[in-house]
Structure 1
């Protein structure tokens, strides 16, 4: 096996697909029941929230996400597989305080963003000043994970439902210890989200990635949905094509507990009423939690692990895993294959200081 990938979230799966397209042999290891990837749990907005508040390094990973997902959606269709439901509904942001910064950022990036009365886009919000990004879309992220798994299956790669308990260097690469025995790979990618750090600790490396719990509510199509996504500092609402509405999300750092909580349920109900008043009195039909991989910086770790040739890391995307995934996978596939990525990988390196022994 050329490459072993630990973690079956969107970044690990997309990287696997790109490596297979380049002729590499790949095996993916995952624990979807006990350690579900953050990829399925979020909203699928194809932009960072308030994108001008992030670094240039993060922006560089997000610019072509929608185009990449449209291409993947077409590929799924050609294989007669369910699509991603890419919906370019636009993103409306009422009552934003730092509008001048937003406008300057949009001009630099040549992104369409304008100031409007919110009522021009959604009549129920008339009277509020807002920022409007008409080209921002969203996808059904559970469909994305399922679609990638099916494309890999068609290529003869089946995601192994077993954990990697430890990794160790060997003469011809790396050995992965699993409950079913040892597996050898020339190169290894750790893309296990919030669970990545423990795999590096036995090697004497400290990865500053922690779990950040986030919870969501899904509302039934009981009242008319807004025409677009709505984002405020308190949260966001995403209208799905079937009339359902997704409301998110909470932030609780340092917690590995994946159980939905009553406190988050109440908080999100309040957010829902604030974002879309017709939801007052409507009972959500689903409530779930996921664990994001958070880190001290706003861009992920995408690099070879210092002092460990052939061992690579891709994690720390926090709330931007889905929108960064296509570019992150491009970078990782290039690095693993010994090629130069189209995006400069330097800002995403795992420096010796950030991976030093604790």
Structure 2
């Protein structure tokens, strides 16, 4: 009986040990499966390590590669780029990739392992040096356009300012209260006076006169600049000053003239006699001049017959050709005093005048 019991006890122990081993094997298998599942790659994330949204040509840009789960092994990866002028490959550090850009354009990169693809990143590649030059040129052009616009605006403003000033072009020009000739005459304007123009009303111009709206016929006004208005104002002031000086001269007549005006009436007869004598002398002088003129005309006629003309120049009689004389007569015919005009010039001056024009 003892042997039988021992055998049973031993069998029980063996069964318990077998069960324990079986359970341990199952636990190990489950653990292995769980561990393998933890390291199995499910997804890939590609992230740029730079902030630029536009890449430069022929430059390197680094990306980070992360797998999910984090313990998954990233081996045997495919580096894909859709630009034939660019390259995309494994970086010098684990978990990185490097894009070397090529020509300008759009480039897309992504990572692939078996059937798992990472997110795709699309970027613009631009020649930054060329872009900088173009932007500088555009900025310069914009600055030039702004400068020209400012100059045009300033010129327009100056024109507008100049156009608001008008100058009176004649003396005794009437300024009226309304735009018609039947209303009140505010004042009579002098040439050179300037006013601020408000607007045109038919053939009248509304102006600002000491804060009052008045009217002047447009035909007696002209537009002037501020500089011209100041110049005219100064000229008017000088003219008024000269007029005041003349008035003062008139007020201060020489004492001799005043005494002459106050001579007794009995001296009038002597003066009348003196005047008569002077008149006779003047008449005699005129008769002599008339005789001389007749002689001169006769001399001219004789000279004309001979092909020359005698002209009484300022430095004495001189001979001129008929062509020269006719030219001088034609030149001063508008005065009605051609001979007198010739007499105001020397013979040399007349010869020079003719030679310069022929």
The structure with the largest helix share of the pair is 2
TM-score normalized by structure 2?
Answer: 0.14
Larger radius of gyration between Structure 1 and Structure 2? 2
By relative contact order (CA 8 Å, sep 6+), the higher-ranking structure is 1
Normalising to structure 1: TM-score of the pair? 0.14
